[in-house]
Amino acid sequence: MALAGFQPKGVLPGVVAGLVVGLVVGTLSLSFAALIFAGELAQFLPAGIGIALFSSALVSLVIALFSSYPAFIGYPNDRTAPILALMAGSLVSLLPGVPPREVFVTVVAAVMVAAFATGACLTALGAFRLGHLVRFIPYPVFGGFLAGTGWLLVKGSLRVLTGVTPSFETAGAFFAPDAAAHWVPGFALAAAMLVVTRRFKHWLVMPAMLAGAVGAFYVVLLGMGVTTDAARAAGFLLGPFPASEPWRPLVFQALSGAHWSVVPAQAGSIGTVVFVAAVSVLLNASALELAAGREIDLDRELKTAGIASFAAGGFGGMPGFHVLSLSGLVLKMGVRTRVAGVAAAAVCAATLLAGTGPLEFVPKPVLGGVLMFLGFAFLSEWLWDGRLRLTRADYAVVLLILAVVATFGYLAGVGVGVVVCVALFALNYSRVRVVRHALSGVRHRSNVDRPHADRARLHAEGDAIFILKLQGYVFFGTAAQILETVQTRAGDASRPALQFAVLDFRAVSGIDTSAVMGFIKMRQAAVRGNFMLVFTRLTPGVRKLLEVEGFGGEDDGVFGVFPDLDHGIEWCEDRILGSGGAACAGACKTLADQLAEVLPAGADASTLFAYFSRLDAAAGEKLMAQGAEPDALYYLESGRLTVELATEAGESVRLRSVAAGTVVGEVGLYMGGVRTASVVAETAAVLWRLSRTDLERMEREAPDAAAAFHRFMARLLAERLLLADRTVADLSE
């Protein structure tokens, strides 16, 4: 798998990029060692440099070989080095009077523990596939993180160039002639690299500019008659570095000679290192994912960084992980090969073996200019380009995170950004329509076939039913929308008095406790307005939450619950019709009487009646079978039927109910084919059957009666089609 990133055509660009990156990594490793092994530990700095260089070589190699993105660069970087330095200072203070060598090996032991803990945590996060959690961090947070990275790179480059840490107090010092002579050349190089690399994308552009910058530096020195020793003394070259002894692992010395009793006191610092490493790996990988325009396996990156840190700790080294700035540098050079990371590791290893002498000839204006260029690249992308592609709110978040990062550091900036984005998300989401559809009971009916008189009454009085189809996640912001919608309908004097407010939760993913307060207010409004709340398709969790807050059972006079919207609307319709769900509304009429009511004027109902045959069905009896040949239609005189569909999983799904005074089976009889669903008697029922043979006989023997019957069926089907068309029109708005 690791060999996938070693394409032959990318070897030369990868080697050049690796040499550039390796030079930077080696130099930074020296800085980290000097930061950790300072003060009373300064005498052990050469050994510390060996630890840092070895850790950089090993971490860089492991990440280069096993990362899902072939050009990732990793090493012990500046986010954890300050924490390790604080830990080292704390250990020194806890061991007064202890021989310096023992203090040193104790610090090495604590650094090893930090590396092991980091490796174990990152590996576990990757093994349990928790890398996806970073996907929940909003996009502007990444932008602010990258902009903050750019600012800190610019700030760090100024420190490299001048030796002065930028701050409000030291701002004036940078404009002094001596200081300007150090940072202006680096600034000029960074600006030139930014302009040229934005215009030209060839991988040779950056190496050529760096080689030209180094050559120009020494030409200027030669022209001014300044020696390298004088330039180094004036701060224009790296070094001088302390003499270093050959590196050797200090694992056994640390295990046997460390004062382990004081190491547990550093649990806070070690935990901080682990946390910073985990967050940094995910943020760096995700940020590079955006910059490179390709997907990166975050779980694999966690495991790779974990293995690298664990391996470094096994040799007495420091924890390390992916670094965004140098990976971005390789990306800017157009390199997409593992050769870059391997070459960078080789540079660190060669420096470890050869000593630090060659690094002393690296011009600080060039090194600082490269770091400043990386900072400029991130800042220009998110501050200049970002103002055009981001919304104002998102751009403001980027600026806020940048300001917090510049003032308080990375974690504070990311934390503030997440909080602000969550607040903006809540505000914006509260504006999203949680009410997907607001429908009237006139136009949106239950799947119950009712007689003509009932249909006419529902058409006249169905507006008393107000149906809300909800969607999304309901919290305090969106619950207010629902409450306002119901209150507006209840107070609409131009419409019939509201009797039922039906809320369908089918497309609701969940609700929080704050949203329940909105429903409590809605219930209070229902009591005042004398209407009922009908909730349908509640999940067990939502229903339990409502019950805890005082909502009653299926029907407590104010609040009702039904398994789906169809049953909820049917219940409301039955209340309007006064049937209460009985088998037939009012006194069940004979077929002859019902035919006389629905047939056109002048039609002879008794003639039609002669072609029907009576059928008495018991509750549960199947009248039509799905897949059977349609040979008859049925007129339901009394009782109730259910039309159900058998699924491939063997389950029966209710499609609709059929009430007395309606017809069932007519579609199959008229269109042919096979029955698309089964019809079962829900209660004891009296039906009148008209077979295909009897219908054909009626057409021959009593054509006027047959024509009247066909007109009746056409009107029935047209009413159903009209109602379905109105429902579709409402749902499409």
Among 346-355, 644-653, 709-718, which is the least confidently predicted range? Answer: 644-653
- Domain 435-577: CATH class, spelled out: alpha beta
Domain assignments of the chain as residue spans, ordered by start: 7-424, 435-577, 591-731
Count of CB atoms situated within 10 Å of the CB of 31: 16
Q: Rounded to whole angstroms, how far apart are CA atoms 440 and 494?
A: 14
Among 309-318, 372-381, 522-531, which is the least confidently predicted range? Answer: 372-381
pLDDT over threshold 60, residue 159: yes
Element (H, E) at 64: helix 45-66
Max avg pLDDT among 134-138, 236-240, 309-313, 351-355: 309-313
pLDDT over threshold 50, residue 582: no
Count of CB atoms situated within 10 Å of the CB of 415: 16
DSSP 434: S
The pTM for the full model equals 0.56
Q: Rounded to whole angstroms, how far apart are CA atoms 87 and 319?
A: 14
pLDDT over threshold 80, residue 31: no
pLDDT over threshold 90, residue 726: no
Residues 224-279 have pLDDT tens digits of 988 888 888 888 887 676 655 567 788 888 888 899 999 999 998 898 788 878 88
Q: Are β-strands 321-322 and 74-75 bridged in parallel, bridged antiparallel, or unpaired?
A: antiparallel
pLDDT tier at 586 (50, 70, 90 boundaries)?
Answer: very low
What the block records as the tokens of 43 is: 């005498």
State the pLDDT at residue 312: 94
State the pLDDT at residue 598: 60
Does a cis peptide bond (omega within 30 degrees of 0) precede residue 240? yes
Max avg pLDDT among 198-212, 338-352, 513-527: 338-352
Q: What is the mean pLDDT of the segment spanning 387-408?
A: 86
Q: What is the mean pLDDT of the segment spanning 482-498?
A: 91
**Cα dist from 373 to 3, 62, 147, whole Å:** 31, 27, 13
Outline where DSSP puts E strands in 626-700.
632-638, 640-646, 652-659, 663-664, 678-681, 685-691
Q: What is the mean pLDDT of the chain?
A: 83
Higher pLDDT pick, 697 / 294 = 697
pLDDT over threshold 50, residue 581: no
Higher pLDDT pick, 605 / 56 = 56
Cβ atoms of 654 and 644 within 8 Å: the answer is yes
Q: What is the mean pLDDT of the segment spanning 638-650?
A: 83
What the block records as the tokens of 564 is: 């789906």
Helix (H, G, I), strand (E, B) or coil at 582: coil
Cβ atoms of 326 and 17 within 8 Å: the answer is no
Among 178-182, 516-520, 722-726, which is the least confidently predicted range? Answer: 722-726
Higher pLDDT pick, 218 / 246 = 218
What the block records as the tokens of 124 is: 């576990």
Asked whether the CA dihedral 442, 446, 448, 449 is positive or negative, the reply is: positive
Q: Pick 591-731's CATH classification: 3.30.565.10, 3.30.70.20, 3.30.428.10, 2.60.120.10.
A: 2.60.120.10
Higher pLDDT pick, 590 / 701 = 701
pLDDT over threshold 90, residue 307: yes
pLDDT tier at 583 (50, 70, 90 boundaries)?
Answer: very low
State the pLDDT at residue 672: 78
DSSP 23: H
